[in-house]
Amino acid sequence: MEWYRLKLMGLKSSKIRVLMAECQRYNDIFIKLEELIETLNLTKDDTDLILNSKKCEKYLEMMDYLEKNKIGLLDINDYRYPENLKNIAKPPLFLFYKGNIELLNKERLISIIGTRRATKYGELGCEKIVKDLVDGDVVVVSGLALGIDSIAHNETLKYKGNTVAVLGCGIDIYYPKTNISLRKEIEKNGVVISEFPLGMNPTPGNFPIRNRIIAGLSKGTIIIESSLKGGSLITANLSLEEGRDVFALPGDITYPFSQGCNNLIKLSQAKLLTSGEDILNEYNWSKKNREGEKLNKLIGIKLKIYNTLKTKMHLEEIKREISCNTSELLSNLMELEIEGYVQSLPAGYYRRRL
């Protein structure tokens, strides 16, 4: 973490990067500083910044803040730094994090991104994909933005899965405000990360920088609804440049926010995706036997309702099969929906979720 002293002193990231490549530890710089000055062409200003970093008061203040707020800091030489991220063109030198940092080195990481203005089709598609991924023990990576990002995080947490939120601002900045409670839940049950310095507010230029981390952490990236010039396509292109897989949910050819996904598929830049199982099959990842375990917990009228719902059915159709009064049936359907077994649809229809 002491490498961050150089960042706080204002030494250029390019200079810090070469120093970190030459020295395993921060203190090693001072053991062979004269040699480094010559081999790396360090200027007098560079050298002064390096020497003064040993007495950097800002670093002590920052470390105190991080400790009080339970925020961690990784540098690229740390053994916990994610291997996937090391392999991109310009990996971040530093990562602030809050939560379970071990998730970043899991084998199964898939990112899900998309428009902030998701349609009902996009929401349902995202929910279906996420559930399959969680059943396959996949860590879901996204950007904590409104729309598809939020749905991906929320659905992962709902099914007790693991999720990573990559920020486009400093880790001490809570943005967007509407996602504060979601972010706090991710901090407890996943991990939130940022390469931006403390106090950095979100700006349009930050998000393409953030997106390279989303792509870099993941084995593949899923695009769910995007316009032809959407920010999600930036991440798709970054994924392709880094040799990662891209998947896209096809959509209505008349709808603007389906054009980006459809075009990626049309140009063979993305593989067509209709479920999370497509991802599991692509990488030969096994699916956990959660469904059988959950269904074994159903008893009585709930089990009867579930067994009856072999296809989409109207409330009156279910009532005829179950033979119970409407209030009792509605009460049990509501409980089944809360527990994740059943989904209510418009006009009084229901279907299974498992």
Q: Could you read off the pLDDT of 310-349 as tens digits, one per residue? A: 888 999 899 888 888 889 999 999 989 888 888 889 888 9
Dump pLDDT digits (tens) for 209-237: 999 999 999 999 999 999 888 788 989 99
CATH of 102-283, one of 3.20.20.70, 2.160.10.10, 3.40.50.450, 3.40.1190.20: 3.40.50.450
Q: How far apart are CA 232 and CA 261, in angstroms?
A: 9
Quick check: 176 and 167 in contact, CB under 8 A?
A: no
Q: Please identify which residue in the block is written with the tokens 């996602």.
A: 179
Using CA atoms of 192, 241, 13, 230 in order, give the dihedral in degrees to the nearest 10: -60
pLDDT (mean) for 86-110: 95
Q: Which residues pair with 142 in a beta bridge?
A: 165
Separation of CA 187 from chain center: 12
pLDDT (mean) for 295-300: 73
| pLDDT recorded at residue 324 | 84
User: Was domain 290-352 assigned CATH 1.10.10.10?
Assistant: yes
Burial bucket for residue 136 (CB in 10 Å: 0-12, 13-18, 19+): buried
| pLDDT recorded at residue 56 | 93
Q: Give me the DSSP letters along 145-214.
A: -TTHHHHHHHHHHHTT--EEEE-SS-TTS--SGGGHHHHHHHHHHSEEEE-SPTTPPP-TTHHHHHHHHH
Dump pLDDT digits (tens) for 122-144: 999 999 999 999 999 999 999 99
Write down the domain spans for the chain: 1-67, 102-283, 290-352
Strands of the 271-272 sheet, one edge to the other: 72-75, 94-99, 191-194, 163-166, 139-142, 109-114, 220-224, 245-248, 271-272
- The Cα-based distances of 52 to 5, 57, 197, 200 in angstroms read 9, 10, 20, 24
Dump pLDDT digits (tens) for 155-183: 999 999 999 999 999 999 999 999 999 99
Banded pLDDT at 247 (limits 50, 70, 90): very high
The pLDDT mean for the chain works out to 92
The residue among 246, 252, 174 whose CA lies nearest residue 214 is 246
Dump pLDDT digits (tens) for 13-66: 999 999 999 998 999 999 999 999 988 989 999 999 999 999 999 999 999 999
| pLDDT recorded at residue 286 | 79
| pLDDT recorded at residue 213 | 96
The residue among 109, 85, 56 whose CA lies nearest residue 195 is 85
Q: How far apart are CA 302 and CA 190, in angstroms?
A: 32
Strand runs (DSSP E) across the chain, as ranges? Answer: 72-75, 94-99, 109-114, 139-142, 163-166, 191-194, 220-224, 245-248, 271-272, 313-314, 342-345, 349-352
pLDDT (mean) for 105-125: 94
The residue among 121, 110, 108, 156 whose CA lies nearest residue 249 is 121
| pLDDT recorded at residue 339 | 82
